[in-house]
Structures are given as C-alpha cells and as structure tokens.
Structure 1
Amino acid sequence: MSVQPDILCIGSVLWDVIGRTPRHMSVGHDVPGRITRLPGGVAMNIAMALVREGMRPALLTVLGRDGEGVELERAARDMGMETGFVTWSDSLPTDQYMAIEGENGLVAAIADAHSLENAGDIILEPLADGRLGSIDAPYSGVVALDGNLTEVLLSRIAENPLFSEADLRIAPASPGKAGRLVPILRHPGATLYVNRIEAGLICDKKFSTAVAAAEALVEMGARRVLVTDGGGMMAEAGPDGVLSATPPQVVVARVTGAGDTFMAAHIAAETRGLSGLVAVEAALGITAAYISEPGP
C-alpha cells in the first residue's frame, strides 16, 4: 500500500547518460573523460534533491515495463521515494537523456522523453481516483511540475479542478521547452523556477538581469517567479515585491541538475518554515555545494 508523500513530482523519470571531461570542449572535439549512467529527468532530479533534504516525494510518471524501467523504479524506491503511483506501460520504452559536459559547462544534450509525452494525462489518474485526491477533494499539497509535459497537458492542468488547491512549483525541462509553460503561468497557486535565458524565451525578449526577467514574467501574469542566472544575481518576484541574492562563488564541477537542485532546496526550505531571502539563500548554498562536487 502506498504511503502518503510529502510532495508530488510529476514528469520525467529516466536514465541520464552523461559524459564529463575536465577539458574545454567545442563541436567536433574528441577528448578523454568519464561516462556515467544515473537516474535522472527533471522530476527525478527534483525528487532526489528533496530526499537529500529529508522529504519523501512521490513520482507520477510513466515507465516502460522493460529492464531499464524496472531497474529505475527499484533505484527510486531504494532512495526513499514513493513509487506506488507510477504508471507502467507495456508499449512505451523507458525514456533517457544524454549530455556532454566540459570544463566550459554543458556542451550538448538530447532528451528523449517521448514516452512521457505519449502517455499524456494517464499519469495523473492517482489525483482523480481517490488515492491522492478527487474532484470533490482536490490534492492540496505541493506539486513539482516538469516542463517535459506537453503544452496540451500543461494547459489542461492549468484549468483542471484537480489542481485547484495545489501549491504548484513549475520547472522548464530545458530552454527549448520553456515556452510550454505559458498556459500555466497564471494558475493562482503557481511558482515558476526558470533561468534568465528561459525567462527570455517565455517573454520573447532578451533580459540583461534576472531582476528584469522576473519583473517581466510577473507583468505577463505570473503569480510568483524565481529567476536564476548561473553565478550571477538571481531574483524572486511576486505579490510581496522583488528580492535578489547572489549565489556563493564556487568552482563548478558539474551543471546537469543544478536548476532542479535549487528548486528542490527552495521548496524544502519553505516547507521547514523559512521564507523570503532566508529561503532563497539557503537554497543557493545547497546548490553551490551540489555543483562544486564532482558527479559520480
């Protein structure tokens, strides 16, 4: 029997295949390095970071009934996640992501989340059938939403009464998918986590600072946003105005999962009762520690 979780993580749960090298890389370079295969995906990355903060997240996603899916579910369960709400598919393979990181950061990446996209709203059934909520008693906890969901599904979620009481925390899967988030920006319970580039893609405008980007998103109708800018100043904007903070300066050893780590750390901080600048600075400190540690 499934245990009631602290938070729901809805979206991509897949295998990350990541090649890392300490050398500077450009297109066409062939260099020595290390290749790892680890659980990943935006929803999974957020869930792993939440576990590190002492929370028990539940995964709402689709996994193929293949060896990769079975292994991934077992890994998630062993880490302390609730996997009883996962949708299993006999016809869809388990998704995967491939990235190359050099000394100069992320060089290239390809996300194959086609199974999640094809599954559609079937992954939301636990929110309607009484296991996590229903139309008469909508889920009222925190929900981390992944921008790997299709724009159609995100639009449905924005208007779905099943999410009317939820505290929605939303992350884009990548800059290329940031535009998918437009339909859900105005949800009364939404908090958006993006970087400065993703904010520009949503607003169709270039921003020189995170503060300008955050203010523009609020003007566009977003209730509350947090905009990061790598090692530069980040900003939070919402009903209480705008605040900004600068991340601790560290030597960057990895970048994949940094945004998801910040989002999870901020959610965990607010769950512990922190707020405003205190919650933001706590999340920035945890993220700095994450990116400064070499990946497995």
Structure 2
Amino acid sequence: MSTPHDILCIGSVLWDVIGRSDRAMRLGSDVPGRIIRVPGGVAMNIAMALARFGLSPDLLTAIGRDPAGDELILAATVRGIGTGHVYRSEDLPTDTYMAVEGANGLIAAIADAHSLEAAGDKILRPLADGRLGSRETPYKGPIALDGNLTTQLLREIAVSPLFARADLRIAPASPGKAERLLPLLDHPRATLYVNLEEAGLLAHTTFDSSAQAAQALVAKGAHRVLVTNGGEDASMARHDMVLTQTPPPVLVARVTGAGDTFMAAHVAAEMQGVDEADALTEALNAAAQYVSGDTPL
C-alpha cells in the first residue's frame, strides 16, 4: 500500500460561491460587494490549508463527472492536493456551497452536499480495498474527517475497523450538522474541533467560555477537544489538562473557512512535532491571519 501523502481529508469538496460586503447586514439587506467562486467544502478547505503549511493531503470525497467537477479536480491538483482516490460519480453533480458575509459576520449560508451524502460509503473504498488499507491492515496515519457525511455513515465510521488505528481529527461542517458527530464523541483516537455553539449542541446546553465547553465535552467522553470562541478565547482539553489562549486581535475581512484553517494549522503543527501549547498558538495565529484576509485562497 503506497501512501505518498501525509494526511487524508475525508468529506465535502465543492465550489464555494461567496458574496462579501464591507457593510453590516441584516435580513433583507441589499448592499454592494464582491461575489467569488473558489474551491471549498470542509475537507477541501482543510486540505488547502494543510498544503499551504507544507503537507501533502489526499482527498476522499465525491465529485461529479461534470465540468464543475473537472475544474475542481484541477484546482486541487495545482494546489498540491492528491485526487487519485476521489470517487467520481457519473450521475451525481458536483456539490456547491453559497454564503453571504457582511462586516458583522456570516449572514446566511446554504450547503448543497447532496451528492456527497448520496455517494455514502463509496468514498471510503480505498480504505478497504487495499489501496490505502483494509480491515486486516487498517490505515495508520492522520485523517481529517468532516461532518458533511451522513449520520449513518459517521456511526459506521465510529465502530469501523478501517479507522481503528487512525489519528482522527474531526470537525463539524456547521452548527446545523454538529450533532451528527455524537457517535464519534467518545472515539478513543479522536480529536474534536468545534466552536462554542457547536460544543453546546453536542452537550445539549450553552457555555460562556471555550474552557467550560472543552471540559464539559471531555466529561461526556471526548478523548481530546479543541473549542474556539471567535476572538474571545480558544481551549484544548483532555482528561488531565485544560489549556486556554486568546487569539490576536484583527479586523475581520472574511469568516468562511476560518475554523478549517485553525484545525489545519493545529494538525500541521502537531505533525511537525510542536507541543500542545505552541500548536494552539500557531493555530490561533493562522486563523487570525486568515480572517484578516492576509492568507491567499
């Protein structure tokens, strides 16, 4: 089994269509701004960030055999992201995400990840058929897994021997899909990356700080968890420690993809041997640079 990559990124890979304005917005606002179309999806955002940090990610996802899919494969390839194990569907279109952002943050978003959901466990075939692993010799490297997969597939992953030896790094796709990750909450090899709202949804309560949220998720069985809280604080917790830091203050130019950048920076730092405190610092700095608009897409 040849694995010329550093990490697998499993989940949504699609086109982001994002409208941004430098003005504060509310329901019904009609303001000038810019509309861009860029590669996106949680797995793709993480993969692109990992590539910027010098790693070689490989994708496990579903992409249509349509012009949008061909463009997306090319976009990944030129960014140094492996696509050799991507499931290319003949009858499912390439997925799309649409968002509107104002100076006051994300106003609204719609994720059309129906093709990824319809593909189901077909995207995981390389982990079972010997290309990346099998039930007898499961994949042993790091895996970034996102919550755009169906609840049923995430349940199967939680107990699957294919993931029994992997270093799982897990992120919800959005607060609306956070509870899909409940089957993986107590996975013994998982690190969970969530924001304060997502932590509350997983714990069925609300929290005032990232430290409080991180400790609560560990108490509910999480092996290790990182919780972000915008520009306020971020915490890492496991059963024997809690670490909290404050991100550097920046002017916010964009928000879509910030959490994925934070996760990728943290994973990259730990893969390069950085200790937990410095890894959290590097992740917060990378996320701050991203939301300020200083990091290229």
Q: TM-score normalised by the shorter chain: which range applies?
A: over 0.9
Deviations 1:221-279 (A, max 9, x none): 11100000000111111133111000001111110000000000000000110121111
Distance 2:239 2:80 in 1: 35
How many residue pairs get aligned? The number is 296
Write the letter of the residue equivalent to 1:199. A
The alpha carbon displacement at 1:7 in A equals 0.1
Structure 1 unmatched runs, 5+: none
Q: In structure 1, what is the equivalent of residue 231 of structure 2?
A: 231
TM-score for the superposition, normalised by structure 2: 0.98
**Residue aligning to 1:260:** 260
The offset of 1:4, in angstroms, is: 2.0
Matches within 5 A, 1:130-209: 130-209=130-209
CA distance in 1, matches of 2:263, 2:293: 18
Q: For 1:180 and 1:150, locate their aligned partners in 2 and report how far apart those are by CA, in whole Å.
A: 7
- Measured in 2, the distance between the counterparts of 1:255 and 1:235 equals 19
Q: 1:2–1:82: 8 Å Cα contact kept in structure 2? A: no
| Counterparts of 2:33 and 2:242, CA distance in 1 | 42
| SS in structure 2 at match of 1:4 | coil
Q: Secondary structure at the match of 1:218?
A: helix
Shift, 1:187, TM fit: 1.1
Structure 2 Cα separation of the partners of residues 256 and 233 of structure 1: 19
User: Comparing 272-281 with 191-200, which one deviates more in the overlay?
Assistant: 272-281
- Residues 95 and 114, structure 1, Cα contact 8 Å, conserved in 2: yes
Instruction: Check conservation: 1:194, 1:226, Cα contact below 8 A.
Output: yes
**CA distance in 1: counterparts of 2:63 and 2:240, whole angstroms:** 40
TM-score (norm 1): 0.98
Supply the distance in 2 between the matched residues of 1:212 and 1:282 (Cα, whole angstroms). Answer: 22
Instruction: Give the Cα–Cα distance (whole angstroms) in 2 for the partners of residues 84 and 70 of structure 1.
Output: 13
1:15–1:97 Cα contact (<8 Å) kept? yes
* CA offsets 1:141-197 (integer angstroms, 9 cap, x no match): 000001001111011001000100000000000000000000011111000000000
Report runs of 4+ in structure 1 exceeding 6 Å deviation.
none
Q: CA deviation at 1:2?
A: 7.7
Q: Which runs of 5+ in 2 are unaligned?
A: none
Structure 1: distance between partners of 2:148 and 2:235: 24
Deviation per residue, 1:55-104 (Å, 9 max, x gap): 00000000110000011001101110110000010111000000000010
Q: Is the 8 A contact 2:10 2:59 kept in 1?
A: yes
CA root-mean-square deviation: 1.2
Give the C-alpha shift of residue 281 in structure 1. Answer: 0.3
What's 2:244 paired with?
244
**Secondary structure in structure 1 of the residue aligned to 2:214:** helix
Q: Structure 1: which amino acid aligns with 2:30?
A: D
CA distance in 2, matches of 1:285, 1:149: 29
